[in-house]
Chain A
Amino acid sequence: MTPGDDEARIRAALAEAHREDRTPAFDSVWTAAEGGRPVRRPARRWIALSAGLAAAAAVAVWMVTRPPPATGWHPTGTRWVGPTDFLLQTPDLVTLRTLPPLDPAADPLANPPPARRGLP
């Protein structure tokens, strides 16, 4: 099939698509336009849409500007305890919680050793 054939087919297709066009009378369309009364969507819908958008904007502003929740309050259930935590409760835990007492005499920081002589 040649490009000319293809174009003829498309031309025929477009003619066929437009064959049933029912063109309204020019005068009726022109007169309606002159009267300034084109078929338009009811304004009520736009008013409702605007009101909805304004309400959504107000809610968004309120959510952004509202004061933060009072501190000191914690939601319940936020402290999670693992089911195996009891394994950490060993008898040695008591001894590990306090530091063992040290002999002050043996503290090298409290009693530094005397400086050695003869050395640079």
Chain B
Amino acid sequence: MAPRDLEQQIAALHPASFAWALACTRWNSTEAEEVLQSVYLSILEGRSRFDGRSTFKTWLFSVVRNMAARARRRHWLTSRVPWRLGGAEPDPDPLDALASRQRGDRIRRALGQLPARQREVLDLVFFHEMSVEDAASVMGVGLGTARTHYHRGKLRLLELLGSEDLR
């Protein structure tokens, strides 16, 4: 794929990619932007290549997910280092930071209580309009596993949302 075409396709998917990065980082927008920037850098440097085995969107989302997982591991590690050196910015819980704000906050909080894979499959299917098969591909799991997370996630989210009217 020509670099110009690649950039255009990525630009067209940029809002969706950012939304997906947000879901992968539990709505931490700073971290989501970092993740997206790392994804673009990885593509530009050729470390992530689209091989045509899936749709471009599925491939891009899987790169975003992997990068977010890497960032999460890095944050997990650094948050457990007993000393913090200069430049360590405060890392508040994104869900706490958004607390006491409207209905969206309550929903994000409910989503944040779901296990990562349940949250991811629901976001891919219900927000990004992907099939469960494509979601499985993005998440790097088998179809059966994705279906299990999908069903359990739906039940759990409905339970967490309770009787709240969303429509």
The chain A residues found within 8 Å of chain B, CB to CB, are 6-24, 26, 29-30, 32-34, 36, 38-39, 41-42, 44-45, 48-49
Assess whether B86 is interfacial by the CB under 8 Å rule.
yes
Secondary structure of the B contact surface, majority rule: helix
Q: Are B83 and A48 in contact (CB under 8 A)?
A: yes
- Known interface pairs A6-B158, A30-B7, A30-B11; A16-B104 also in contact (CB < 8 Å): yes
Q: Which 9 A-B pairs rank lowest in CB-CB distance, beginning with the nearest?
A: A33-B40, A12-B166, A14-B127, A33-B41, A26-B14, A23-B18, A42-B87, A38-B37, A14-B126
Q: Are A20 and B104 in contact (CB under 8 A)?
A: yes
The chain B residues found within 8 Å of chain A, CB to CB, are 7, 10-11, 14-15, 18-19, 22, 27, 29, 33-34, 36-41, 44-45, 74, 78, 81, 83-88, 103-104, 107-108, 110-111, 122-123, 126-127, 154, 157-158, 161, 166-167
7 other A-B residue contacts (CB within 8 Å) besides A17-B127, A42-B88: A7-B154, A17-B104, A18-B127, A19-B104, A24-B33, A33-B37, A39-B37
